[in-house]
Amino acid sequence: MTPDNRLTQGFISRHPEEAARVLERMPAAMSASFIASLDTKAAVQLLAVMVRPFAAHCLESMEPDQAASMLDQALPDDASNLLQAMSLQAQQNCLAQLPASKRKNLGRRMKSPEGSVGSKMRSQFFMLPQNVTVAEALRRIKYAGQYKIHDIYVTDNANRLVGSVRIEKLLRASAKQQVQALMKKNIAAIAARSLLSDAAEMTAWKYQRELPVVENRGALVGVLDYASVQFDEEEESIDKVDEIALSAPLELIWLRLADLIVMILDLLFSRQHRERGNK
C-alpha cells in the first residue's frame, strides 16, 4: 500500500462520515471506483454511513463480485437494506456471487412477511443527511431530479430517520444553513414488520400521502404509499366477496336439500296418517 493510500484509509477510518459526505457529492460511478480501490473493511465502513440510496447506486456501479465481497463483510442488517435499495437485476447479480449460507440468510432478511408494511413499501427513494448545507441539499435534489418531492426525509450518520424538510423551506433558506436546522422532527413513521391493517388505521394519513418505514434500529428502509394500503384493503374486500360468491351455490344446494327432506317427511307422515285411518 502506498503512503497516499495509507493516508486516505487512515482518514476514512477516523472520519467516515466526512468522507461519505465528500463522496456523495461526486457521480456514483466515480465514487464507486474510489470505494472499490479501498480495502474491504474501509469500503464497508464508508457504505454503512453513506445515504443509503447513494450507497446502493455505488454498489450497482461496481462489478458484481466486488459489490458482493463488500456485502459479505457488512453487518447483516446493513447488507440486506443496501440490497433492497438496489435494482432487482443488481440484487440478483450480487446474491449470485455470495456463499450459499450468506445468500440464504440475506434472502430471508429481505423477505417481508405477507400482509406486513415491508411487503408493500418502496425500497428506492430519495433522502438527505442532516449535516449537509442547504446549498448541497439543493444540488443533490437537482442532480437526482427530485423537484416534485414535497417532504424529503432526513437521516443521521447511521441512516436513522430524524425528520423531514420541505423543499420550499430549503429554497427560502440561507445557502450555508444546515438541513438539520430546518427539518421537522418527531415525524410519524411505521415499522417494517407492522401489519398493513394497523398501518391503515394511523391518523397520519389525514395529512400525509406516504409514511416513512423504519427497521428495529430506527434506520429508514422504505416508504409506504397510502395507495398501497388502500389497494390492500380493496383486495381484502374482493376476497371476502369472492368467498361469499363461492359459498352462495353451496347454501342454495343445502336449502334445496332441506326442502326435499321436509317434503319427504310430509309424504311419510301423510301415508302413516291414512294407514291409521283405514284401520
**Does 273 fall in a domain?**
no
Residues 106, 132, single domain; the answer is no
Percent of the chain with pLDDT over 90: 56
Rounded-to-integer distance, Cα 84 and Cα 8, Å: 29
Name the pLDDT band for 230 (thresholds 50, 70, 90): confident
**Does 54 fall in a domain?**
yes
**Does 264 fall in a domain?**
no
State the pLDDT at residue 124.
87
Residues 173, 205, single domain; the answer is yes
To the nearest whole number, what is the mean pLDDT of the chain? 84
CA 226, 49, 128 angle in degrees (round to 5)? 45
**Does 41 fall in a domain?**
yes
Whether the pLDDT of residue 198 is over 60: the answer is: yes
State the pLDDT at residue 111.
85
The mean per-residue pLDDT over the stretch 34-44 comes to: 92
The mean per-residue pLDDT over the stretch 86-107 comes to: 92
Which residue among 53, 85, 111 closes a domain?
111
Task: Please report, as a single letter, which amino acid is at residue 262.
Answer: V
What domain count does the chain have? 2
Whether the pLDDT of residue 29 is over 50: the answer is: yes
Residues 134, 101, single domain; the answer is no
Q: Which residue in 159, 160, 154, 220 sits closest to 191, CA to CA?
A: 220
State the pLDDT at residue 238.
40
State the pLDDT at residue 11.
85
For 146, counting Cβ atoms within 10 Å of its Cβ (0-12 exposed, 13-18 middle, 19+ buried), the class is middle
Residues 39, 85, single domain; the answer is yes
The mean per-residue pLDDT over the stretch 139-167 comes to: 89
Residues 180, 221, single domain; the answer is yes
Over residues 59-79, the pLDDT tens digits come to: 999 999 999 999 999 999 899
Domain range for residue 7? 3-111
The gap from C-alpha 258 to its chain's centroid, in whole angstroms, comes to 53
CATH number at residue 37: 1.25.60.10
Name the pLDDT band for 275 (thresholds 50, 70, 90): low
Residues 82, 169, single domain; the answer is no
Whether the pLDDT of residue 237 is over 60: the answer is: no
Name the pLDDT band for 99 (thresholds 50, 70, 90): very high
The answer to whether 58 and 81 are in contact (CB under 8 A) is no
DSSP state of 190: E
State the pLDDT at residue 12.
86
Residues 44, 143, single domain; the answer is no
Which residue among 208, 229, 250 closes a domain?
229
Better pLDDT: 219 or 261: 219
Rounded-to-integer distance, Cα 187 and Cα 192, Å: 16
Which residue among 111, 139, 167 closes a domain?
111
CATH number at residue 167: 3.10.580.10
Name the pLDDT band for 262 (thresholds 50, 70, 90): low
**Does 256 fall in a domain?**
no
Whether the pLDDT of residue 183 is over 60: the answer is: yes
Name the pLDDT band for 112 (thresholds 50, 70, 90): confident
Residues 74, 148, single domain; the answer is no
Q: Among 15-29, 177-191, 241-255, which is the least confidently predicted range?
A: 241-255
Residues 17, 88, single domain; the answer is yes
Whether the pLDDT of residue 202 is over 80: the answer is: yes
Helix or strand (DSSP H, E) at 124: none
The mean per-residue pLDDT over the stretch 21-36 comes to: 92
Residues 72, 154, single domain; the answer is no
Mind giving me the DSSP string for 206-259?
Answer: GT-SEEEEE-TT-BEEEEEEHHHHHHHHHHHHHHHHHHHHHHHHHHHHHHHHHH
**Does 185 fall in a domain?**
yes
State the pLDDT at residue 214.
94
Residues 77, 14, single domain; the answer is yes
**Does 144 fall in a domain?**
yes
